[in-house]
Chains A and B, each alone.
Chain A
Amino acid sequence: MTRILATADSEFRIALRNRWVAIALVLMAVFSLVLSLAGSAPSGGLGADRLSVTVASLTSLAVYLVPLLALLMSFDAVAGEVERGTLPLLLTYPVSRAEVLLGKCLAHVAILALAVAAGYGLAAAVTFAFDDRSVAGLPALWRLGWSSVALGATFLGAGYAVSALARRPSGAAGMAVGLWLGLVVLYDLALLAAVVADNGGWFTTEAFPVALLVNPADAFRLFNLAASGASGVSAGVGGAASVIPVWQSVLPVLLWPVAAMSLAVLAFRRVSP
Chain B
Amino acid sequence: MTSTLTISGLTKRFEGVAALTGVSFSVAAGERVALLGHNGAGKSTMMKIILGLIPASDGRVEVCGAAPGSAEARRRVAYLPENAAFHPALTGEEQLRLYLRLRGEDPRGALALLERVGLHAAAKRRIGTYSKGMRQRVGLAQALIGRPRLLVLDEPTSGLDPVSRRDFYALLDALAADGASILLSSHALTEVEARTDRILILSEGRMVAEGSLTELRRSADLPVALNVTPRNGYASEIAANLPGAIEAGGLLHLTCSQSDKLAVFGRIAGLGTKVADLEVLPPSLEDIYSHFSGRHGQ
Minimum CB–CB distance from A41 to chain B (whole Å) comes to 44
A14 touches B90 (CB 8 A): yes
B89 touches A18 (CB 8 A): yes
A10 touches B98 (CB 8 A): yes
A91 touches B85 (CB 8 A): no
Q: Among the listed A5, A17, A273, which residue makes an inter-chain contact with B89, where contact means beta carbons less than 8 Å apart? A: A17
A10 touches B103 (CB 8 A): no
Binds B, one of A82-90, A142-150, A229-237, A247-255: A82-90
Q: Among the listed B71, B81, B94, which residue makes an inter-chain contact with A13, where contact means beta carbons less than 8 Å apart? A: B94
B53 touches A85 (CB 8 A): no
B98 touches A272 (CB 8 A): no
- Known interface pairs A89-B81, A89-B84, A92-B74; A2-B101 also in contact (CB < 8 Å): yes
Judge whether A32 is part of the interface by a CB distance below 8 angstroms. Answer: no
Q: Among the listed A6, A10, A88, which residue makes an inter-chain contact with B90, where contact means beta carbons less than 8 Å apart? A: A10
Judge whether B86 is part of the interface by a CB distance below 8 angstroms. Answer: yes
Judge whether B269 is part of the interface by a CB distance below 8 angstroms. Answer: no
A94 touches B75 (CB 8 A): yes
Residues of A within 8 A of B88 (CB): 84
Q: Which residue of B lies closest to A6 (CB)?
A: B101
Judge whether B77 is part of the interface by a CB distance below 8 angstroms. Answer: yes
Judge whether A202 is part of the interface by a CB distance below 8 angstroms. Answer: no
Residues of A within 8 A of B79 (CB): 88-89, 92
| CA gap between A95 and B99 in the complex, in Å | 10
Q: Among the listed A14, A95, A273, which residue makes an inter-chain contact with B53, where contact means beta carbons less than 8 Å apart? A: A273
Residues of B within 8 A of A91 (CB): 53
Within 8 A of B (CB), among A178-195: none
Q: Among the listed B74, B87, B98, which residue makes an inter-chain contact with A94, where contact means beta carbons less than 8 Å apart? A: B74
A14 touches B87 (CB 8 A): yes
A93 touches B102 (CB 8 A): yes
Residues of B within 8 A of A94 (CB): 71, 74-75, 102-104
Judge whether A154 is part of the interface by a CB distance below 8 angstroms. Answer: no
Judge whether A3 is part of the interface by a CB distance below 8 angstroms. Answer: yes
A2 touches B104 (CB 8 A): yes
A7 touches B98 (CB 8 A): yes
| CA gap between A219 and B74 in the complex, in Å | 42
Residues of A within 8 A of B54 (CB): 272-273
Minimum CB–CB distance from A77 to chain B (whole Å) comes to 12
| CA gap between A112 and B79 in the complex, in Å | 35
Judge whether B133 is part of the interface by a CB distance below 8 angstroms. Answer: no
| CA gap between A272 and B79 in the complex, in Å | 17
Residues of B within 8 A of A3 (CB): 101-102, 104
Judge whether B149 is part of the interface by a CB distance below 8 angstroms. Answer: no
Residues of B within 8 A of A95 (CB): 102
Interface residues on A, range: 20 to 34
**Binary CB contact string for chain A from 88 to 115 against chain B (1 if under 8 A, 0 otherwise):** 1101111100000000000000000000
Within 8 A of A (CB), among B78-118: 78-79, 81, 83-90, 94, 97-99, 101-104, 107
The residue among A10, A91, A273 with the most chain B CB atoms within 10 A of its own CB is A10
**Binary CB contact string for chain B from 226 to 267 against chain A (1 if under 8 A, 0 otherwise):** 000000000000000000000000000000000000000000
A88 touches B103 (CB 8 A): no
Judge whether B52 is part of the interface by a CB distance below 8 angstroms. Answer: yes
A84 touches B87 (CB 8 A): yes
Residues of B within 8 A of A84 (CB): 85-88
Residues of A within 8 A of B43 (CB): none
Residues of A within 8 A of B137 (CB): none
**Binary CB contact string for chain B from 38 to 53 against chain A (1 if under 8 A, 0 otherwise):** 0000000000100111
| CA gap between A262 and B59 in the complex, in Å | 33
Q: Among the listed B74, B84, B139, which residue makes an inter-chain contact with A93, where contact means beta carbons less than 8 Å apart? A: B74
- Known interface pairs A93-B74, A94-B75, A272-B54; A86-B85 also in contact (CB < 8 Å): yes
| CA gap between A12 and B139 in the complex, in Å | 22
Minimum CB–CB distance from B251 to chain A (whole Å) comes to 50
| CA gap between A1 and B52 in the complex, in Å | 23
Q: Which residue of B lies closest to A2 (CB)?
A: B101
B77 touches A92 (CB 8 A): yes
Chain B residues packing against A (C-beta within 8 Å): 48, 51-54, 71, 74-75, 77-79, 81, 83-90, 94, 97-99, 101-104, 107, 126, 139, 142
Please give 4 more A-B residue pairs, beta carbons under 8 A apart, in addition to A14-B89, A86-B86, A88-B51. A17-B89, A89-B85, A94-B74, A94-B75
Q: Which 3 A-B pairs have the closest CB atoms?
A: A6-B101, A85-B85, A17-B89
Task: Identify 12 residue pairs between A and B in the complex whose beta-carbon atoms are under 8 Å apart, listed by A's number.
Answer: A3-B104, A7-B98, A10-B87, A13-B94, A14-B87, A14-B89, A17-B126, A85-B81, A89-B79, A91-B53, A93-B103, A272-B53
